[in-house]
Amino acid sequence: AQKITQTQPGMFVQEKEAVTLDCTYDTSDQSYGLFWYKQPSSGEMIFLIYQGSYDEQNATEGRYSLNFQKARKSANLVISASQLGDSAMYFCAMREKNTGTASKLTFGTGTRLQVTL
């Protein structure tokens, strides 16, 4: 089974609108972490936001927020007021505690976001 599922291979959003990128995960651990990374066309991986499984509040970082629904095992990224520079690939990733490699991040397949005028 896929550990991280991103069902949207591509998304379009108009500038200044909000967009939600979906991510669902599969784990039997109680302690885990969820990450979102952005990969622009230049190729680098940029950390955006982190949510711990025990965090009661949804994480926010500027225009990025994480809609964490633990019971549904979803960790959707919400980008508010989209900008042209937000056009990129977005990856959801999970770190599980009870694995042989405590630091291992498992990545989803990514969602390509295109912001239009």
Partner 1 sequence: DAGVIQSPRHEVTEMGQEVTLRCKPISGHDYLFWYRQTMMRGLELLIYFNNNVPIDDSGMPEDRFSAKMPNASFSTLKIQPSEPRDSAVYFCASSLEVRGKQYFGPGTRLTVT
Q: Which is nearer to partner 1, 52 or 114 (CB)?
A: 52
What's the min distance (Å) between Cβ of 70 and partner 1?
18
Q: Which is nearer to partner 1, 24 or 108 (CB)?
A: 108
Contacts with partner 1, residue ranges (CB under 8 A): 33, 35, 37, 42-47, 50, 91, 93, 95, 97, 100-105, 107-110
What's the min distance (Å) between Cβ of 69 and partner 1?
22
**For residues 58 and 63, what is the distance between their CA atoms, to the nearest angstrom?**
13
